[in-house]
Chain A
Amino acid sequence: NAGVTQTPKFQVLKTGQSMTLQCAQDMNHEYMSWYRQDPGMGLRLIHYSVGAGITDQGEVPNGYNVSRSTTEDFPLRLLSAAPSQTSVYFCASRRTSILNTEAFFGQGTRLTVV
């Protein structure tokens, strides 16, 4: 199993450009989430999904869109990149369980907006 795979690992964008961060998991997990982590800070939830076709907003959703057409994939779209979106982005997945809180994270995408 590859777990949670994020691509690309690094990206530099110009202000105003758009792009999609890819996230794929091969564990058949229903729950998937996107986080951003700024230097010296904890992770903040951007968007999350409880299954294919269902998404919802987290703490900091502005400037980002998501969709979940399959269980495996959960792409994050930056509509018009801004310097404030310079951050490290992590995707996570977790199986549906009322007893288990273990989530699996990807290695992250380091995004710089200039």
Chain B
Amino acid sequence: LAKTTQPISMDSYEGQEVNITCSHNNIATNDYITWYQQFPSQGPRFIIQGYKTKVTNEVASLFIPADRKSSTLSLPRVSLSDTAVYYCLVGDPGSARQLTFGSGTQLTVLP
């Protein structure tokens, strides 16, 4: 299973764009990159997944360079309610054991 490295914490202000980068140097060919969000006392919630280049949905964008050894989650115009822990996961969706969580990044959005 590919190991991921992401910043422990980040601060931002309301209305700013936030970029959280995740490093995954030993990503395998079948691996996808997935990001989850977790609020206190709640289970993680899926945000976005991608394999290569750029993926965008109504919540976030995910940028993946050609070598796939890193990825960047981009949250446009954050609000106070985006304060949460964000997890980057790398794994093969065909494997039931795919979801291995690291320590995540605590994002704090300030007024």
Contact = CB atoms under 8 A, between A and B. Distances in A.
Interface in B63-99: 87, 89, 91, 93-94, 96-99
A42 B43 contact: no
Nearest to A4: B43
A50 B101 contact: no
Interface residues of A, number: 32
B44 A56 contact: no
A101 B91 contact: yes
Interface of A: 4, 30-31, 33, 35, 41-45, 48-50, 56, 58-59, 88, 90, 92, 94, 97-108
B29 interface: no
B-side interface size class? 20 to 34
Contact of A45 (B34, B49, B99): B99
B97 A56 contact: yes
A76 to B, nearest CB: 15
A44 B93 CA distance: 18
Contact of A42 (B45, B49, B101): B101
